């Protein structure tokens, strides 16, 4: 899981997924 944070692509993907979750909550 930590590997995702070490790569720009992984970080970007995580950010998009995180934003998607926040949108569903609201």
Q: What pLDDT score was predicted for residue 23? A: 72
pTM: 0.43
Q: How far apart are alpha carbons 26 and 23 in whole angstroms?
A: 5
7: left (phi over 0), alpha (psi -120 to 50) or beta: beta
pLDDT one digit per residue (tens) for the chain, 26 residues:
555 557 788 778 888 888 877 777 66
User: Six-digit token pair at 23?
Assistant: 């949108």
Q: What pLDDT score was predicted for residue 8? A: 83
């Amino acid at each position: 899981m930590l590997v995702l944070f070490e790569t720009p692509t992984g970080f970007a993907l995580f950010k998009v997924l995180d934003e998607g979750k926040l949108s569903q909550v609201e």
